[in-house]
Chains A and B, each alone.
Chain A
């Protein structure tokens, strides 16, 4: 049974369709990246999974049932939705204490998560004075409070410095390695590319692709850039073998559809000297933008 599942989820606000007949499932023991441009419907989907909004149609399920029916919610799901959702006049420690009290979580756990996110020193300051990065870490601490089986994090990397990013990646991987379910959204592939095992990509509220990161990485058109002494002759020969040929500037070709061995053998047979033979992987980011459409909305 998938830990998190949306089935034909649709959410309309008046005439705007935020999420449009979306279905996907998230399994335990891995990090699932939830990708899409701003406004794609990521937050709406996550809020539906948390029972904070009711779908116009379809369902959002947690461990097979409605999130509203969760019996021990903070030990089931930990969520970090937005880094601004704190009372500015309350200290970080007291924010966590109110949440801990609601779920009967001991105070020692508050100190523990404060230590984990390295906020112990600032815990008595009012949130008003926190930087965006500190707020993100406080939101993460809140999510981790109940040692939940499932983590739902909405753009947790926003505002984190490079060290914070690395810390976050390690944390997410540890959580997944411990058998937990991690769903983490981002509008930037690069933020999740080093962490996610699985990718769910949406755009305009619709599913674009659900794939493993490995498949996504391997799926690019594999072109080989070639420079050689007799470029025209090589191109003609490769054309006979059915390769696709594109010019890459004056002195190089981009060859598709044949492997490096074939190119090398052909060159040897025809007495052509190879100057360069370089496999090109189209960057993940390029492929991501292709899928998501050219322009990235907002930001």
Chain B
């Protein structure tokens, strides 16, 4: 618990976290507000049917991934890893505290996203006389977003722990998620659905169709990816020297 408190404090005592969440939520407010308020109603309703309510979720998704990376790599970049591991010489307790902080901040950001998105989109659309999705659909999409933010942050932690170099890890994480994601479509069968970006889509509840994982399976697949990366990264840091 002490270590988690320490990691939580680290997270909020530099500007990075505030700035990233601020930009993400402001961007979401603009996006959801402008889209739900100004786009043609037919367009909005068509989009609601295909991609769900979570308009503009992509920005915070990327930011969560990057924040997860930063939670680990910042310590190596600035050499504070030494003092962190002096307080936790076995290292894994401090690392698990970091992971917990990454998950928590993801959940928090997810809830904030839901508040902003729901607070703007729902009244705007219904105010213009548009049809809102069924509330069960809303709940499942929003729950998917909250869970996905936490998993993205954990995914970032894993990549950060493996790569350690800050810039390298950010590039690796984003490339893995967003650039390589079309690749599996070239693969035979449904293997592609088990790649992180595709599983994330399923978790968000869109891309419904043949051969697409359902939401829960998508969430489990993404959890499996995050867990594997977290385990490898944590193990590597416990074994490697803390050079500086």
Interface residues of A (CB under 8 A from B): 47, 50-54, 67-70, 73-74, 77, 79, 81-82, 84-91, 94, 97-99, 101-104, 142
Count how many chain B residues have C-beta atoms less than 8 Å from C-beta atoms of the other chain. 28
Whether, in the assembled complex, B82 has its beta carbon less than 8 Å from a beta carbon of chain A, the answer is yes
Q: Which of B1-21 contact A (CB under 8 A)?
A: 2-3, 5-6, 9-10, 13-16
A54 CA / B241 CA spacing, docked (Å)? 6
Q: List 13 A-B contacts (CB under 8 A).
A: A47-B82, A51-B89, A52-B85, A67-B89, A70-B89, A73-B87, A85-B244, A87-B80, A89-B15, A91-B13, A94-B13, A99-B6, A102-B84
Chain A residues with CB under 8 Å of B242's CB are 47, 52-53
Name the residue of chain B whose CB is nearest to the CB of A70: B89
Tell me how far the C-beta of A278 lies from the nearest C-beta in chain B, rounded to whole angstroms: 49
Instruction: Tell me if B89 and A101 are in contact (CB < 8 A).
Output: no
Instruction: Tell me if B90 and A68 are in contact (CB < 8 A).
Output: yes
Whether, in the assembled complex, B22 has its beta carbon less than 8 Å from a beta carbon of chain A, the answer is no
Tell me how far the C-beta of A49 lies from the nearest C-beta in chain B, rounded to whole angstroms: 11
Instruction: Tell me if A86 and B86 are in contact (CB < 8 A).
Output: no
Tell me how far the C-beta of A19 lies from the nearest C-beta in chain B, rounded to whole angstroms: 13
Name the residue of chain B whose CB is nearest to the CB of A81: B82
Known: A52-B241, A98-B6, A102-B6. A89 touches B89 (CB 8 A): no
Chain B residues with CB under 8 Å of A51's CB are 85-86, 89
Tell me how far the C-beta of B243 lies from the nearest C-beta in chain A, rounded to whole angstroms: 7
A62 CA / B178 CA spacing, docked (Å)? 47
Instruction: Tell me if B6 and A53 are in contact (CB < 8 A).
Output: no
Tell me how far the C-beta of A182 lies from the nearest C-beta in chain B, rounded to whole angstroms: 17
Instruction: Tell me if B9 and A101 are in contact (CB < 8 A).
Output: yes
Known: A52-B85, A53-B242, A87-B80. A104 touches B9 (CB 8 A): no
